[in-house]
Chain A
Amino acid sequence: MKSMNGKNPEKDLKTSVLERLKENDLNPRPKAFFLVKEIIFWFFWFLSTGVGAIAVAITLFVIGYRQYALYEATHDNFLTFMVEVLPFLWFFLLFLMIILATYNIRHTKRGYRYSLLVVVGLSVGVSFVGGVLLQTSGIGFSADRWLGHYISLYNSQEKIELRLWQSPVAGRIIGQVYEMNNDNSEALFVDIYNTRWGLVTTELDDDDIKRLGTGQNVKVVGQVLGIKPPKIHVCGVFPWFYDDFHSREEMREQREIMKKRAQYYFRNEESSKLKDIDTYKTPCQEMMVFSRFNYGY
């Protein structure tokens, strides 16, 4: 082969390279090899942003819809409530997925040309837009619930809410009434773990009684009067929402019910002496749960 530039070719290197190629029968790797490599990076980028989107969807679902309505019933303040219900696992996963997505996009053919800010921004942006879309189509709720059902260690919002509301020691149970007496002052109730409870319903209003009578699962809050046999003095009845997707409006209604109950129990003069429990007359008025709702009344 003649030199193309007309100068003396540096034969040693050229010859040795060509000889080595021939001796070892080396050939260029096929285009498909590089194409597959590129596809793999993009695939993992899509996968990581997809998981990131699910993380965002579940986070939005938790933040936007769940449990806020009655947080005073289960926690001392909003902070302790948030610490318990926020999906930290998903925050961590989102963070991890953004790192993975960034890594993958940086390793695509031209990914290195863009600044870290652009690449991270793109991955975060896609995850957030995907997450909003998933959440608006109800997938945040479904994914969280599905994972909760199939992965025992996964702490879904459903499990959290069950744990928060099926807590007899704290005077909270979930279940349904299967029998009520004629004057609606007492009822027989079975909780989600099949424990049968006697309910004293003398302090409930008509709306509460209606909710008890639907035969649907409800959340009951009250003062436990005894364990053998299990008996509870009921102070509030709220719908159990976790069997379907519910709107913010429904959550607001639930909160209004709780406020109304609180207002009812603290409507008298003693309501201003919240710390002086001895002045309360009924079991429900003794429940500090309602005092948390009393701000502003």
Chain B
Amino acid sequence: MEQNQPTDKELVEMTLRERSSFGFIVERYEAKLKRYINRLGVKNPDDQLDVLQEIFIKAYKNLNSFDRSLSFSAWIYRIAHNEAISWYRKHTVRPEGHLIADSDEVLKLIDSSDDTPDIAFDQKINIEEVGKALERIDEKYKQVLILRYFEHLEYDEISDVLKIPIGSVGTLIHRGKKQLLNALNQDYIRI
């Protein structure tokens, strides 16, 4: 984002004065949220469009509930998260992530220093394998790992998105990585 661009909070203030300013928020978050709901399992482009519309309509209607002292990004991700979940509940399908990750993201996940268990597995793991392994771990771990390593959110932002205590975010990431490691090891055994 360029320096002269308004911040999220400024955009919120602008939108509250003038509805059309909400278009800037839509523009700013459309791609990010599309990618996020895709990762959470809303894969069909038409469904994605519907879900995104609902996300932005809800965001607009609830704009006054946004706490200015918190991150807008986390706030709108929270709405997206809820909409994605209610979407796949309505469609009675298990959330199936479709992980679009680049090699940097995967390497970051593997090498990240904020883990306590030492994840020392082969650096040559390919993206596809990590993606498959993430599909098999518990939903709660998958969600937190996606937010941390694919959406690059901070712990407090993840806490705001998932509405869980900040301390639990660290625990979930720690356990999620452990489970991911087990899932990856199982893949190796199969191979």
Contacts and interface: CB of A to CB of B under 8 A. Distances in A.
Interface of A: 1, 3-5, 9-10, 12-14, 16-18, 20-22, 26-31, 33-34, 109-110, 112-116, 118
Q: Which residue of B20, B28, B60, B61 has the most chain A CB atoms within 10 A of its CB atom? A: B60
Contacts of A27: 19, 61
A27 B57 CA distance: 10
Given A113-B160, A115-B168, 12 more contacts: A1-B23, A4-B24, A5-B27, A13-B26, A14-B23, A14-B26, A21-B22, A22-B19, A27-B61, A33-B64, A109-B67, A112-B163
A28 B61 contact: yes
A30 B6 CA distance: 24
Given A26-B60, A28-B60, A17 B53 contact: yes
A17 B64 CA distance: 18
Interface string B17-34: 001101110111011000
9 contacts: A1-B24, A4-B24, A10-B30, A14-B23, A17-B57, A18-B19, A28-B63, A110-B67, A113-B159
A14 B64 contact: no
Contacts of B24: 1, 4
B34 to A, nearest CB: 9
Contacts of A14: 23, 26-27, 30
A222 to B, nearest CB: 63
B31 A29 contact: no
A17 B62 contact: no
Contacts of B67: 109-110
Contacts of A109: 67
Given A30-B64, A113-B166, A115-B167, A17 B159 contact: no
Contacts of B30: 10, 13-14
Contacts of B56: 13, 17
B165 A5 contact: no
B28 A5 contact: yes
Contacts of B5: 4-5
A1 B11 CA distance: 14
A12 B1 CA distance: 22
A34 B49 contact: no
A31 to B, nearest CB: 5
Contact of B49 (A1, A5, A13, A20): A13
B22 A17 contact: yes
A176 B5 CA distance: 88
B19 A115 contact: no
B123 interface: no
Contacts of A4: 5-6, 24, 27-28
Contact of B61 (A9, A22, A29, A118): A29
Contacts of B52: 13
B44 interface: no
Contact of B165 (A16, A17, A26, A113): A113
Contact of A34 (B64, B160, B163, B167): B64
B125 interface: no
A12 B50 CA distance: 12
B53 A20 contact: yes
Interface in B161-179: 163-168
Contacts of B27: 3-5, 9-10, 14
B57 A26 contact: yes
B65 interface: yes
B16 interface: yes
B143 to A, nearest CB: 15
Nearest to A1: B23
Contacts of B1: 5
B16 A28 contact: yes
Contact of A21 (B57, B65, B166): B57
A13 B28 CA distance: 12
Contacts of B164: 112
Enumerate the 6 nearest inter-chain pairs by beta-carbon distance, A residue then B residue, closest first.
Answer: A112-B163, A28-B63, A34-B65, A14-B26, A115-B165, A31-B64
